[in-house]
Amino acid sequence: MKEGIHPKYKEAKVLCACGETFATRSTREAIRLDICSKCHPFFTGKQKLVDAEGRVEKFKKKYAKK
Per residue in 25-56, pLDDT (tens digit) is 999 999 998 888 777 766 666 766 665 667 77
Give the pLDDT of residue 37.
76
pTM, to two decimals: 0.53
Instruction: Compute the distance between CA of residue 39 and CA of residue 49 in angstroms, rounded to an integer.
Output: 11
Give the pLDDT of residue 12.
93
Does residue 24 surpass a pLDDT of 90? yes
Give the pLDDT of residue 26.
93
Containing 31, the helix (H) or strand (E) segment is strand 30-33
Give the pLDDT of residue 60.
83
Q: Per CATH, the architecture of 10-62 is what?
A: Irregular (4.10)
DSSP-assigned letter for residue 45: -
β-partners of residue 21 are 15
**Domain range annotation of the chain:** 10-62
Order of strands, sheet of 30-33, starting from the edge strand that comes earlier in the sequence: 21-26, 10-16, 30-33
